[in-house]
Amino acid sequence: MRWNIGLRLGLLLASFSILAALLVGYFTFAASRDMLNDRAQRALLSTTQILSRHLQSGFATVARDTTMLATLAAGMPSLGPVASPEVQAQDTKVLADVFRSVLQARPGYLQVRLISAREHRLEQVRVERQGGRVVRAEEAALQEKGHYPFVFETLRLGQGEVYVTEFGINHEGLSEGPSQPIFSVAAPVVRDGVVAGVVVVRLDADHFLGNFSAGLPAPYGFYLTNRWGDFLVHPDRNKTFGFDRGQRILAQDQFPGVERLVSGSTTEAVIAHMGSDDEKQALALVRMPFGMRDDGRFLLVGLSQPMSVVQAEALELGRSIVKMVSILCLVGLLLASWVSRVVTDPLKAMVRATEAFSQGRAHGALPVERHDELGELARSFRDMEQQIGQQMVELNRSRDAMAHLAHHDPLTGLPNRRMFEQRLERALEMSRRSGRACALVFVDLDDFKSINDKLGHAVGDAVLQAAARTIAGAMRQVDTVARLAGDEFTVLCENVDTHDASLQVLDKLQQAFESPLLIDGKPFAVRASMGVSLFPRDAQDARTLLASADAAMYRAKQRLRFQD
């Protein structure tokens, strides 16, 4: 490939446009991606906040149920210390029936009980779900519960307040199976301003939380931790309630930044982490106040989403930007190629013109009418071309003159000896080929020396010129008349086949010298001696032929002297 200007210019322009498109594309993408990611993260956080509020309202519903039951229990006179066993039994039966209906109405409730503040906090009534049935515990199976927080914490509360326990695995009795996650809500039974007992509702934590997490679409992962960061809900169930097995599986050990939520320095956060299946996840966490009293307790509610979902819009945007950038690049390429043609076409025309000019060929029109640098270049080129043309004409002319000088006698304008010898050689060659003879006449002016001596060189020259004219005038156009030297002239007549014909030529010349020559308009008698030789009869080469004619001329001159 030729690395020409057009290509370079095109590539340069194309690179610029592609670079510009890429830069614009990248920065647009980066800015919009951050914006979209931010928005998606805020959306995830908002969803988590909504979920956390739903959870709180769920707790509030259970709290209302519990408070209602506590109020009901407070209205039973039998719970007082003075009631007879019969009245007490009747009242607890009524209460047990109420508890039973509550359990039947609320499938998430596992157990409802009334615990007395007396008798080492002995249970008074316990109704619980056992294998799908709701049963009331026998009197002998009632237990002392004073060491449980739902008792000792609730006994400190006032009318209308409730205590929510931490989430945990049930170890209280074995009726519900070994590893059921539970939590309880307890309300004080306040009679005459004194806390006489506690109503405790135990809930199935899975069922309760399922109400909230069930509605979440598939890619969401639901997390819940207690105030120390122990997982209560985790997509991997093995990571929940680790503390119950003697190991702590803490959110702050798994996710960076949770420490700040646990310590309370922030109340919400969105963090990125690697999910179990090596997919990057976005996790929004909200610190949800928990428990009805201002005791600083909280739960961390978390929702995770694959980062690909969070970034989906940004990726979509990225794809659009790639398309847009591609189109821009294509347009840039086309523009670059067009611009490069606009610039290089006139240049190419100039190049073609220069090539044609150097080879002496004609070339097409140049863009001289343009008003830019290219037009200027074209005009300069045209001027230069014209100037060079003129100089060439003059050069040729002077070369022709030089050539003429080299081959002609400057006085008479006749071919000189050099040219004559060339022509003679050529004529002999032609003659050998054609077989037609040619004649050579040698003419020598008589007494020319005395003319020069007596009348001066100017007259001598004039005589030579007049003699030349006379000889040329007597001969055919095709014959070559030359001045060899001094007053010696030769005539070469080609295609003179016979001796007679040669004699006719000689005769014609002699006749021409019969009448006087005109020198400055005055008649001046000049005589000339002539000799002829015929090729190939008299000689086989130019020198011998010339010598033969010279010899014939000399004989004629001798004869003339004898006649005189």
Partner 1 sequence: MAVVRCRAGRGVAPSCKGWPGRAVQALAGWLLLCGLALAAPPTLRVLAWPGYADADWVAEFEERHTAKVEVTVVGSDDVLRAKLADIQGPAFDVVAANTVEIATMLARNELVALNLADIPNAGRQLSRFRRDIAGIAREGRRYAVPYTYSEMGLIYDRQQLSEPPQSLSVLWDPRWRGRVLAFDGSSHGFSLAAMQLGLDPFRLAEGQFSQVARHLVRLRRNLLSFYALPEESVDLFRRHRVAVMHANYGQQQLKQLRDAGLDVGYVVPREGALAWLDCWAIPRRSTQAALAAKWINHMLEPRVSRELTRRQGLSNTLEEPEALDAGSLLGPIRWLESVEDESRRMRLWQRIVSGERPERF
The CA distance from 480 to 427, in Å, is: 10
CB 545 within 8 A of CB 533: yes
Nearer to partner 1, 246 or 435 (CB): 246
The catalytically annotated residue of 487, 497, 500, 520 is: 487
User: Is residue 130 close enough to count as binding partner 1 by CB under 8 A?
Assistant: no
Residue with tokens 């309300």: 187
Site for partner 1, residues 154 to 213, rule: CB under 8 A? 171-174
Nearer to partner 1, 188 or 531 (CB): 188
Binding window for partner 1 (CB under 8 A); candidates: 199-207, 241-249, 390-398, 520-528: 241-249
Residue of 488, 414, 410, 498 whose CA lies nearest to 444: 488
Pick from 8, 42, 64, 120 the residue near partner 1 by CB under 8 A: 120
Assign residue 83 a region: left if phi > 0, alpha if psi is -120 to 50, beta otherwise?
Answer: beta
Cis geometry, peptide bond prior to residue 536 (ω within 30 degrees of 0)? yes
Nearer to partner 1, 147 or 522 (CB): 147
User: Is residue 239 close enough to count as binding partner 1 by CB under 8 A?
Assistant: no
Torsion of CA 225, 230, 235, 236, to 10 degrees: -170
Cβ 2 to partner 1 shortest distance, Å: 43
User: Is residue 247 close enough to count as binding partner 1 by CB under 8 A?
Assistant: yes
Cβ 86 to partner 1 shortest distance, Å: 23
User: Is residue 143 close enough to count as binding partner 1 by CB under 8 A?
Assistant: yes
Binding window for partner 1 (CB under 8 A); candidates: 157-165, 247-255, 416-424, 484-492: 247-255
Binding window for partner 1 (CB under 8 A); candidates: 195-203, 211-219, 246-254, 339-347: 246-254
Q: How are beta strands 517-519 and 522-524 bridged, if at all?
A: antiparallel
User: Is residue 146 close enough to count as binding partner 1 by CB under 8 A?
Assistant: yes
CB 62 within 8 A of CB 185: yes
Site for partner 1, residues 249 to 268, rule: CB under 8 A? 253
Cβ 45 to partner 1 shortest distance, Å: 28
CB 552 within 8 A of CB 534: no
Pick from 24, 49, 90, 144 the residue near partner 1 by CB under 8 A: 144
User: Is residue 246 close enough to count as binding partner 1 by CB under 8 A?
Assistant: yes
Task: Look up 487 and say whether it is catalytic.
Answer: yes
Nearer to partner 1, 8 or 248 (CB): 248
Phi, psi (degrees; rounded to nearest 5) at 286: -130, 135
Cβ 153 to partner 1 shortest distance, Å: 9
The CA distance from 213 to 456, in Å, is: 143
Nearer to partner 1, 141 or 403 (CB): 141
CB 196 within 8 A of CB 189: yes
CB 303 within 8 A of CB 269: no
Site for partner 1, residues 216 to 235, rule: CB under 8 A? 228
Nearer to partner 1, 113 or 129 (CB): 113
Tokens of residue 534, six digits: 């015929």
User: Is residue 42 close enough to count as binding partner 1 by CB under 8 A?
Assistant: no
| Total length of the chain | 564
CA distances from 128 to 143, 203, 270, 428 (A): 14, 11, 41, 149
Q: CA angle 13-18-23, nearest 5°?
A: 125
The CA distance from 198 to 70, in Å, is: 7
Cβ 190 to partner 1 shortest distance, Å: 19
User: Is residue 280 close enough to count as binding partner 1 by CB under 8 A?
Assistant: no
Residue of 81, 242, 107 whose CA lies nearest to 169: 242
For 182, residues 6+ apart whose C-beta sits below 8 A from its C-beta are: 110, 167, 168, 169, 170, 176, 202, 203, 204, 205
The CA distance from 500 to 331, in Å, is: 93
Bridge partners, 443 (sequence order): 489, 530
Cβ 165 to partner 1 shortest distance, Å: 11
User: Is residue 147 close enough to count as binding partner 1 by CB under 8 A?
Assistant: yes
Binding window for partner 1 (CB under 8 A); candidates: 41-49, 67-75, 145-153, 420-428: 145-153
Nearer to partner 1, 219 or 296 (CB): 296
CB 155 within 8 A of CB 117: yes
Site for partner 1, residues 283 to 302, rule: CB under 8 A? 295
Cβ 288 to partner 1 shortest distance, Å: 18
What is the dihedral sign for C-alpha 522, 523, 527, 530? positive
Nearer to partner 1, 107 or 149 (CB): 149
Nearer to partner 1, 156 or 404 (CB): 156
Nearer to partner 1, 295 or 355 (CB): 295
Pick from 59, 99, 109, 148 the residue near partner 1 by CB under 8 A: 148
Pick from 7, 94, 135, 152 the residue near partner 1 by CB under 8 A: 152
Count of chain residues binding partner 1 (CB under 8 A): 24
User: Is residue 123 close enough to count as binding partner 1 by CB under 8 A?
Assistant: yes
Residue 69's Cβ-count burial label (10 Å; 0-12, 13-18, 19+) is: buried
Residue with tokens 């499938």: 107
User: Is residue 272 close enough to count as binding partner 1 by CB under 8 A?
Assistant: no
Active site positions, annotated: 487
Contacts with partner 1, residue ranges (CB under 8 A): 120-123, 140, 143-149, 152, 171-174, 228, 243, 246-248, 253, 295
